[in-house]
Amino acid sequence: MSLLRSASVLAGRLAGRNQLALKCLATRRTIHGEAQSSEPTSGPAKFPGAQAAFVAKPTLVLPEHVESVPIYRVMNADGVIEDASQDPGLSRETVQKMFRDMVLLNTMDKILYESQRQGRISFYMTNFGEEASHIGSAAALSPEDWVYGQYREAGVLVWRGFTISDFVNQCYGNREDEGKGRQMPVHYGSKKLNFVTISSPLGTQIPQAVGAAYAFKRQPNNQRVVITYFGEGAASEGDAHAAFNFAATLDCPVMLFCRNNGFAISTPSKEQYRGDGIAGRAAGYGIAALRFDGTDIFAVYNATKMAREYVLKNNKPIVMEAMQYRISHHSTSDDSTAYRPAEDLEIWNTTEHPISKLKAYMKQRGWFDEAAEEANVKAVRKQVLAQINQSEKIPKADWRETFQDVYHEMPQHLREQMKQMEEHIEQYKEHYPLKDFKN
Amino acid sequence: MSLLKLASGVTAAVLKKGSTTQLVVSRASSHFVYSPDAKAPVEGPTQKMNMFQAINNAMDIAMERDESALVFGEDVAFGGVFRCSMGLQKKYGQDRVFNTPLCEQGIAGFAIGVANTGATAIAEMQFADYIFPAFDQIVNEAAKYRYRSGNLFDCGSLTFRAPCGAVGHGACYHSQSPEAYFAHTPGLKVVVPRGPNKAKGLLLACIKEKDPCIVFEPKTLYRAAVEEVPVAAFESPLGKADILRAGSDVTMIGWGTQIHVLKEVADMAKKQYGVNCEVIDLVSILPWDKDTVCSSAKKTGRVLIAHEAPLTNGFGAELAATIQEECFLHLEAPVARVTGWDTPFPHVFEPFYIPDKFRCLAGVKKLIDY
């Protein structure tokens, strides 16, 4: 499938429309250098800012005349592959790992969500309904590829081998957390899994991913790409614009992966943008685009695989847009029933759910074992619960870690401030939760 | 970014023109007289350089010895609007010295990403006045990268360069000194050079430093400041102030262009009032050299701090607060601050805005008479 909207398809669609649309077409086709304007005036324009022909009448390029980027899907809601040529041909083991990882994420989410409700952790964000976009894309990447995420991509870490202990310890901020308890829950990071630590400010990671991709591109025989995930809300940030434009002009092998789940907290996507989603912006930046069904793990997998090959081969970026639905509340601080009816969720929670689709596919293949699956869920539940009990008891890091890693080496003024706090604690120790922290 | 790019070349051209522009020239040049460093920072052969040449030389050295080093920003490819990156693209290639789209938050975010991989990023903000679109990337991201990841990731190999300070006619958006905004951000290192030697040494130190650094370069010094600069690579320590003139009666602290104002004030105070001023170039805004400042304050008992940026919450406030805390029993007079006013930086009123030598001299007089 072509990554760029083909002019001939566009021509066919627009043939029956009015004269204005034809003018739009003529202008657009000339941009691609494939045809002359239907009403050319004298010679090509020489402006440095764009390559286009003159026309003799004013031509409005209306957004409704631009065809939407289509949504690629491989299997339908019943788990049936619609076009056999699109079957990724994954082994039973791989598909089963995909399924298990989605279930693990889903099960862990449910328990950690509840544990926040019980006040055991301070905050949590679930991934309900978006599991396939994480696992499917992660499976199509090389483990060496760097990942810059937003915060709702925990499945990428699951696929790469971040353990239940890793997740739970981060949420508790205990001394087993590699982040040393400095960030809120779900702000995961792993050097060894090439997953750059999450931060809260939205969109900031996108231009960073572009810079990293540029640096990797310069390394000899580079086989590594960078993928950055972000929501459709974050795509409204200035940093998204910066990133798209830098990625295009500086030829960066970066995959700009948008999880379009319809909501940014309470804001529906219709209040977020008026264009053709996020993929529709790509052409404006001169970037290839690929939109797909984010609830269909095979579509996500195939799209990511194709995108990765394109990016690495051409040293160019690609905009990817996974269409899905945020079944989750935005976070544990949010009650989504305040801004959307509960019944809207129904379809996304059942037939259109990424886990049920893959399950249906596996059943057809005879790869789904009900008993084994039940045992798996049980085992995950048990493991997460046990880990919660354990993580709760693990002390937090030495409180002096407050002052470490601000700089590579602690400067004098921070050493003095740490000493002040030590002296203060010595005098007022009974007022501080020292027993929870490692000495 | 504004579309008004005040290349120093434009200034030079204006200098040679007729009587109307002559007014601008005398106003701009009356503000300070550049005085070179008394001696070179390291031994060895030297070459006469102005500040933009010294900066160019530092970047040349950095790129020569580190194949991962990249220089980028708006208009750096042809040499930069202040000539700082002249010849570098030709020498090191388009993939190492390149223009970016006109977007400061993009430049900063891109630089962080480059540095995340361990490569060296030397990013230019065309004017310090236009660093604010990148404030989020610098403050929330660059400064906190190492801390928030538990040292799993960092962007220590990045350096931002940004031309700052008064230039005679820069008005609101080609004159600002935003160091105090960044001084409030743990995780950053912020320095301001006073001339070619310091600019070269600090820039090389920042590039090597394992923390994200910002070098604010007083743009009025790019051409005006000329001195003998060692040809070899050398580093000027971060976090270390320089005592440029020893004195016993008043400590004067400044940085950047203001140092040259203060050196002149020291001469005037000596001549007119018989007062011996100690002149300290703070050099490093964050972290800053408390020991040097406070031992001088204890010795003289009187302190004057001068900076171009506005008074309220300017970096002088931090210095004054610390000095009163550390040197309370030694102080003979309240710590004085002579700074820009709490207004935007004006165009035609610049001579009335800047903390010039007469306002500083008046400040010294008040300290002595207290």
Measuring CA to CA, which residue among B258, B274, B242 is closest to residue B364? Answer: B274
Asked if residue B14 belongs to a domain, the reply is no
Pull the structure tokens for residue A397: 């890091």
For chain B, how many structural domains are there in total? 2
Give the domain-ending residue among B181, B201, B230.
Answer: B230
CATH code, domain carrying B168: 3.40.50.970
**Cβ-nearest to B140 among A197, A204, A405:** A204
Residue ranges making up the domain that contains B92: 46-230
CA nearest to A215 within chain B: B114
pLDDT of residue B243: 98
**Does the distance separating the beta carbons of A239 and B106 come in below 8 Å?**
yes
Strand (E) or helix (H) holding A349: helix A343-349
Query: Tokens 């310091």 correspond to what residue?
Result: B198
**Does the distance separating the beta carbons of B103 and A406 come in below 8 Å?**
no
Tell me the pLDDT band of B38, cut-offs 50, 70 and 90. confident
Domains of chain A: 84-392 (3.40.50.970), 399-436 (no CATH)
Residues B71 and B138 in one domain: yes
**Does the distance separating the beta carbons of A245 and B106 come in below 8 Å?**
yes
Report chain A residues whose CB lies below 8 A from the CB of B151.
404-405
**Cβ-nearest to B140 among A197, A201, A250:** A201
Model confidence over A254-272: pLDDT tens digits? 999 999 999 999 999 999 9
pLDDT of residue A37: 46
Task: Judge whether residue A404 has pLDDT over 70.
Answer: yes
Asked if residue B16 belongs to a domain, the reply is no
The residue-averaged pLDDT of B350-355 equals 97
**Does the distance separating the beta carbons of B121 and A239 come in below 8 Å?**
no
Q: Does B257 touch chain A (CB under 8 A)?
A: no
Residues B270 and B222 in one domain: no
Residues B217 and B118 in one domain: yes
- Compute φ and ψ for B48, nearest 5 degrees: -75, 125
Asked if residue B64 belongs to a domain, the reply is yes
Model confidence over A305-361: pLDDT tens digits? 999 999 999 999 999 999 999 999 999 999 999 999 888 889 999 999 999 999 999
Angstroms from A296 CA to nearest CA on chain B:
31
Measuring CA to CA, which residue among B190, B325, B337, B124 is closest to residue B251? Answer: B337
User: Cis (ω within 30 of 0) for the bond into B287?
Assistant: yes
Angstroms from A280 CA to nearest CA on chain B:
21
**Cβ-nearest to B101 among A197, A206, A246:** A246
**Does the distance separating the beta carbons of B101 and A242 come in below 8 Å?**
yes
Report chain B residues whose CB lies below 8 A from the CB of A242.
101, 103, 105-106, 109-110
In chain A, % of residues over pLDDT 90: 86
**Cβ-nearest to A189 among B108, B117, B149:** B149
**Does the distance separating the beta carbons of B148 and A211 come in below 8 Å?**
no
Tell me the pLDDT band of A13, cut-offs 50, 70 and 90. very low
pLDDT of residue A439: 73
DSSP per-residue string spanning A282-310: HHHHT-EEEEEETT-HHHHHHHHHHHHHH
Report chain B residues whose CB lies below 8 A from the CB of A194.
none
pLDDT of residue A237: 98
pLDDT of residue B31: 87
Q: What is the ipTM for the molecules in this complex?
A: 0.93
Asked if residue B93 belongs to a domain, the reply is yes
The contacts of residue A177 (CB under 8 Å, 6+ apart) are A169, A170, A397, B150
Asked if residue B5 belongs to a domain, the reply is no
Residues B150 and B270 in one domain: no
The residue-averaged pLDDT of A108-124 equals 95
- Compute φ and ψ for A336, nearest 5 degrees: -70, -10
Residues B178 and B277 in one domain: no
Pull the structure tokens for residue B116: 């995340």
**Does the distance separating the beta carbons of B156 and A408 come in below 8 Å?**
yes
Q: Does B322 touch chain A (CB under 8 A)?
A: no
Asked if residue B8 belongs to a domain, the reply is no
Asked if residue B346 belongs to a domain, the reply is yes
Quickly count: other Cβ atoms within 10 Å of residue A419's Cβ.
11
| Strand bridging mode B189-191 / B158-164 | unpaired
Asked if residues A348 and A279 have their Cβ atoms less than 8 Å apart, the reply is no
Q: For residues A31 and B367, which has the higher predicted lDDT (pLDDT)?
A: B367
Tell me the pLDDT band of B5, cut-offs 50, 70 and 90. very low
Angstrom distance (rounded) from CA A183 to CA A180:
8
Separation of CA B136 from chain center: 21
**What secondary structure letter does DSSP report for A68?**
P
Give the domain-ending residue among B230, B260, B291.
Answer: B230
Helix (H, G, I), strand (E, B), or coil: what is residue A379? helix
Q: Does B295 touch chain A (CB under 8 A)?
A: no
Model confidence over B161-176: pLDDT tens digits? 999 999 999 999 999 9
pLDDT of residue B145: 98
Angstrom distance (rounded) from CA B324 to CA B16:
48
The mean-pLDDT minimum among A108-117, B19-28, B341-350 falls in B19-28
Average pLDDT over chain B, rounded to an integer: 93
pLDDT of residue B10: 39
The dihedral through the CA atoms of A170, A189, A319, A136 has a sign that is: negative
Of A65, A187, A329, A330, the active-site residue reads A330
Angstrom distance (rounded) from CA A249 to CA A244:
9
Residues B77 and B206 in one domain: yes
Pull the structure tokens for residue A247: 């990625």
Average pLDDT over chain A, rounded to an integer: 91
Report chain A residues whose CB lies below 8 A from the CB of B290.
412-413
Tell me the pLDDT band of B30, cut-offs 50, 70 and 90. low
Asked if residues B177 and B131 have their Cβ atoms less than 8 Å apart, the reply is no
Of A8, A200, A266, A333, the active-site residue reads A200
Task: Judge whether residue A137 has pLDDT over 80.
Answer: yes
Task: Judge whether residue A19 has pLDDT over 50.
Answer: no
CATH code, domain carrying B277: 3.40.50.920
**Does the distance separating the beta carbons of A197 and B149 come in below 8 Å?**
yes
Measuring CA to CA, which residue among B130, B126, B81, B166 is closest to residue B347? Answer: B166
Model confidence over B40-57: pLDDT tens digits? 999 999 999 999 999 999
Task: Judge whether residue A152 has pLDDT over 50.
Answer: yes
Instruction: Count interface pairs A-B at CB distance under 8 A.
Output: 152
Tell me the pLDDT band of B9, cut-offs 50, 70 and 90. very low
Task: Judge whether residue A36 has pLDDT over 50.
Answer: no
**B228 belongs to the catalytic site:** no
**Cβ-nearest to A204 among B115, B137, B154:** B137
pLDDT of residue A69: 98
Residues B199 and B293 in one domain: no
| Strand bridging mode A146-148 / A195-196 | parallel
Report chain B residues whose CB lies below 8 A from the CB of A241.
103, 106
Residues B226 and B246 in one domain: no
Helix (H, G, I), strand (E, B), or coil: what is residue A149? coil
Residues B52 and B177 in one domain: yes
Tell me the pLDDT band of A286, cut-offs 50, 70 and 90. very high
Residues B52 and B201 in one domain: yes
CA nearest to A191 within chain B: B152
- Number of residues assigned to chain B: 370
DSSP-H helix ranges across A81-204: 92-117, 131-140, 154-160, 164-172
Tell me the pLDDT band of A40, cut-offs 50, 70 and 90. low
Asked if residues A79 and A363 have their Cβ atoms less than 8 Å apart, the reply is yes
Beta strands in A213-329 (DSSP E): 226-231, 254-260, 263-264, 267-268, 288-293, 318-323
Pull the structure tokens for residue B320: 């004054």
Residues B212 and B249 in one domain: no
| Strand bridging mode B158-164 / B213-218 | parallel
Report chain A residues whose CB lies below 8 A from the CB of B95.
218
Residues B201 and B312 in one domain: no
Angstrom distance (rounded) from CA B161 to CA B159:
7
**A200 belongs to the catalytic site:** yes
